[in-house]
Structure 1
Amino acid sequence: MQGLHLTADLHDCQGAPHWLTDAPALGAMCVRTVEEAGLQAVGSLVHAFAARPDGPGGVTATVLLAESHLCVHTWPERGGVTLDVYVCNFSADHSAKAHAVMAALEAVFRPGRVQRHALQRGQNEAMA
């Protein structure tokens, strides 16, 4: 159960506005991004939220990976995005691929400010 779990909170995103609201485009871009990083998409689900009085609805996109998952949540009314990439490192170390996915997504959304976190999971499993 060893793996790398990366998260990022993107603020003040300056990328093309449709990435925050266009569910089919965001879902396709997420699948393309993981495949270009060398990860294997095995399924995906994208949901567009209804518009609200304060602006358009956001999108949640999830890509199931043979190596684990990618989740993207957008808040267009705030110009914000949260990213979550988890890769299991059972038969190979996929950490560089996870970092590549995060970098590619950050390049698309072009945030003004980013908060990043990385968690190594399962390192102490022999002690459990």
Structure 2
Amino acid sequence: MKGLHLTADLYRCRCEAAWLTDAAKLGAWCVEAVQAVGLEAVDHLFHTFPATAKGPGGVTATVLLAESHVCLHTWPEERAVTCDVYVCNFSGDHSAKARGLMYALVNRFQPEWTEQRSLDRGEE
């Protein structure tokens, strides 16, 4: 079960507001980004939450990968996003692809700052 788990918390995102509120737009782009780095999407779920008194609802976008998953959660009222990319390295080392995908995700949202973490999972 050896794998790589990357997380990023993105703050004060300067992207177009639709990237934080439009599940279909964000989801379609996520699938394209997965394919662009050479990972394989096998299913997906994109959901927009209802608006609240604080503003428009956020989005959860999840893409199931043959290699594991990518998941995003947006908070438009805070212009914030959390990103999760996990790949197992059972059939080969997908670590570079996971890092490339995380790089694309962070760039999509143009945050003023990020907090990123990397966790090696499983035994050698």
Q: For this structure pair, what is the TM-score category when the shorter chain's length is used for normalisation?
A: over 0.9
Give me the whole-angstrom Cα distance separating, in 2, the residues matched to 1:60 and 1:2.
Answer: 26
Find out whether 1:87 has 2:48 as its counterpart.
Answer: no
1:24-103 alignment to 2 at 5 Å? 24-103=24-103
Deviation at 1:64, TM superposition (A): 0.2
* Alpha-carbon displacement from aligned partner over 1:58-105 (angstroms, at most 9, x marks no partner): 000000000000000000000000000000001100000000111001
Structure 2: how far apart are the matches of 1:46 and 1:108? 17
User: Larger radius of gyration, structure 1 or 2?
Assistant: 1
Q: Distance in 2 between the 1:116 and 1:80 partners?
A: 14
Give the letter for the 2:25 counterpart.
A
**Residue 113 (structure 1) shift:** 0.8
* Unmatched segments (≥5 aa) in structure 2: none
Distance 1:105 1:121 in 2: 21
Q: In structure 2, how many angstroms separate the alpha carbons of the residues matched to 1:12 and 1:123?
A: 37
User: Matched residue of 1:91: which SS?
Assistant: coil
**1:23 counterpart residue number:** 23
Find the aligned partners of 2:67 and 2:12 in 1 and give their Cα distance: 30
Amino acid at match of 1:31: V
Q: CA RMSD in A?
A: 0.7
**Take 1:86 and 1:123, find their aligned partners in 2: how far apart are those partners?**
15
Partner of 2:115: 115
Q: What is the TM-score of this pair, normalised by structure 2?
A: 0.98
Runs of 4+ in 1 over 6 A off after TM superposition: none
SS in 1 for 2:101: helix
Deviation at 1:123, TM superposition (A): 2.2
2:15 is equivalent to residue 7 of structure 1: no
